[in-house]
Structure 1
């Protein structure tokens, strides 16, 4: 091999490696990204510090500058999934160009976004929702509660219900629980097409609200 070819190959290898000097924020984001990529191949509870440092091309000492242990990295990584869920699961506010769409159409879009994030981060989503998971903690439970509250608040707001009754709130929270449980089964078994899954979940909400209307004069 000529020296020129050797230099070119060396430069190619160097550009493929993670930059050695990063801002603290960028390095932390890199470690979180590495963890999320590993979740695509392994359950989060099986991802160790060595796996992350290898994927991020950094030392253990550098890892421990940003996270005291792998559990704290799991929480940070799962937190980014939750942030994406909250950011993506939205319905147009009054005045938005899509606000003319029917509530059913808006809801279909929100459920589709939810399923998209859950599917792309399937192992992380399962770890978040499985109470028996070894990475399930009070902090991860709080992350999940944040998503639930966001969805219920969104439905109340877009449904135009200023003061929802107890039965209405129970209906919405029950539907969110249905979405969570059904999505877990869907991810693990994959026996239902995504479009069917989305439309079924939307129809379930309207069916539940119809039943609630029989018992709630509000």
Structure 2
């Protein structure tokens, strides 16, 4: 080992080292489990540390505060939601849209606390959580547009139409996870059909954005 290597080895490792990133990821995974069915206000930092079997100071070290920890968990959850919704790139347009909506509903069904926080605004009027929510909306709009039109950068009429649909989906999905009277398949089909109506309205206003043809059923 040369002098430069010895100096680098002796230098304190920053938080961004691989080991630190792994530990931070582990804490986020634990937090997602703890907050899965428990509200933000119902868990203190002492509760979190005890149930996670870690020192409270470790959570402060990586996230500075309970709110910082919670925001990191929400951002991680959002990344999963957007990744799931954007999957199925190899599918035909109509099938990809269906896959996006089904993945969205699956996420909401299995991550109810995080989903409620994402779409409802989180801890009071929290501008950072609202920004995360707005980012999710734009990501879903871009995913639907890419699947339906082959591009995510769309004209104002198309964007507003799809954004309005996404906002209605949020309200319907919140009600559905509270009162799951419909199966996920039925809920998905309902949302797919309302999206079809939205896209036909967009086409009427701007013919350069034709609604995808419905999938053909085998005879």
TM, length-normalised to structure 2? 0.78
CA deviations on 1:89-130 (whole Å, 9 max, x unpaired) are: 11544xxxx34x3x2221111111111111111011102221
Q: 1:201 aligns with which of 181, 191, 212?
A: 191
Q: Does the 8 Å contact 2:45/2:66 carry over to 1?
A: yes
C-alpha displacement at 1:150, in angstroms? 1.3
Give the alignment of 1:1-218 within 5 angstroms. Answer: 23-93=19-89, 98-99=90-91, 101=92, 103-131=93-121, 133-134=122-123, 136-160=125-149, 164-218=154-208
C-alpha displacement at 1:135, in angstroms? 5.5
Unmatched segments (≥5 aa) in structure 2: 1-17, 209-219
Residue-pair matches, total: 190
C-alpha displacement at 1:83, in angstroms? 0.4
Taking only aligned residues, the RMSD between alpha carbons, in angstroms, comes to 2.1
C-alpha displacement at 1:49, in angstroms? 0.8
C-alpha displacement at 1:160, in angstroms? 2.7
TM, length-normalised to structure 1? 0.79
Residue 63 of structure 1 aligns to a residue whose secondary structure is: helix
- The CA distance in 2 between the partners of 1:86 and 1:146, in whole Å, is 10
Q: Which segment is superposed worse, 60-69 or 107-116?
A: 60-69
Q: Does the 8 Å contact 1:78/1:128 carry over to 2?
A: yes
1:61/1:169 Cα in 2 relative to 1: closer, same or farther (>3 Å)?
closer
Residue 58 of structure 1 aligns to a residue whose secondary structure is: coil
- The equivalent residue for 1:18 is none
CA deviations on 1:38-84 (whole Å, 9 max, x unpaired) are: 12331133222112211221112222211211011110001111000
Q: Which segment is superposed worse, 108-117 or 161-170?
A: 161-170
Residue 213 of structure 1 aligns to a residue whose secondary structure is: helix
1:217/1:62 Cα in 2 relative to 1: closer, same or farther (>3 Å)?
closer
- The CA distance in 1 between the partners of 2:192 and 2:158, in whole Å, is 16
Unmatched segments (≥5 aa) in structure 1: 1-21
Q: Does the 8 Å contact 1:32/1:77 carry over to 2?
A: yes
